[in-house]
Amino acid sequence: MNADASTPTSRRDRIELISAVLIGLASVLTAVATYQEGALDGEVRDQNTEALAQTSYANDVYNDASAQQAIERDWFFSWNVAHWNDQPAAAYLADAMPPEVWVLIEEWNAAEDDGILDPFSPEAVESYPAYGDLPSVGLLMRGDDHMGAAQCAIFAGRVADNRGGWLSLSVIFLAITLVTAGLAALLKSATAQYVVLGTAVVSLLFGATLLVAGGDRDGAQAEVAEQVFESPDEADLCVDLE
């Protein structure tokens, strides 16, 4: 009779030990996942703020570039009108205008296509190399740099959000482990205990797997790059900057 009485007690002791081990492992993994998830949430906020700031800088620079190009166009057309009408103002304008605009005027007038192309168009840069030296073009390039930085910040934010999503799922499965492992020790039926413990073990494995996925920066970058960029080269540039 003593042997029969010891069987449930022995089983209960084993169940309690296994439950304690599962609860301990799940608690540690939950702490790790929660910490990493919080850090990634902060990174998402920081990158979104950076993206907005860089976009704002880019718009300001693009506005400056538009204003600068309007001035350059005014010099360009004013000189050509004066020149075509043999007005003395042409000589004054040539001396007063920025040298980069004057070189562009010379290239435009000497072009074999008789200056059909818009000299301020990026498409005409092969015909008029001086276009690339204009102050407005330098501003446009600065604006493009800011937009590129904004795109990279968006990319980094989405990578962090992607990893945070895996960690959130990890925390859910680990919470299931904590609940089911604790419940197993309270049940009296051996079958129910083993079923619940099995559920706890499976949830722990899922949670650990998702925790590893959340730590895989390279995998997240590859997945997000397909959504954000048209060319792999663009993604590689942003990855190199991190």
CA angle 165, 31, 213 (to 5 degrees): 35
Q: Residue 182's closest CA among 11, 6, 4, 21?
A: 21
Tens-binned pLDDT, residue by residue, of the chain (242 aa): 444 555 666 877 888 889 999 999 999 999 999 999 999 999 999 999 999 999 999 999 999 999 999 999 999 999 999 988 888 888 899 999 999 999 999 888 887 665 567 888 877 777 788 888 999 999 999 999 999 999 999 999 999 999 999 999 999 999 999 999 988 888 888 888 889 999 999 999 999 999 998 888 888 888 888 887 877 667 777 875 55
C-alpha to C-alpha distance for 133 and 170, rounded to whole angstroms? 54
Q: pTM of this prediction? A: 0.79
* Cβ-based neighbours of 58, under 8 Å, separated by 6 or more: 143, 144, 146, 147, 150
pLDDT of the residue at 150: 94
C-alpha to C-alpha distance for 38 and 32, rounded to whole angstroms? 10
CA angle 32, 33, 36 (to 5 degrees): 85
pLDDT of the residue at 214: 87
pLDDT of the residue at 228: 79
pLDDT of the residue at 241: 53
C-alpha to C-alpha distance for 90 and 177, rounded to whole angstroms? 84
C-alpha to C-alpha distance for 154 and 62, rounded to whole angstroms? 20
pLDDT of the residue at 15: 85
pLDDT of the residue at 226: 83
C-alpha to C-alpha distance for 173 and 58, rounded to whole angstroms? 43
pLDDT of the residue at 1: 44
Query: Which residue is associated with the tokens 């990634």?
Result: 40
pLDDT of the residue at 211: 92
C-alpha to C-alpha distance for 96 and 189, rounded to whole angstroms? 97
Looking at residue 229, the DSSP 8-state letter turns out to be -
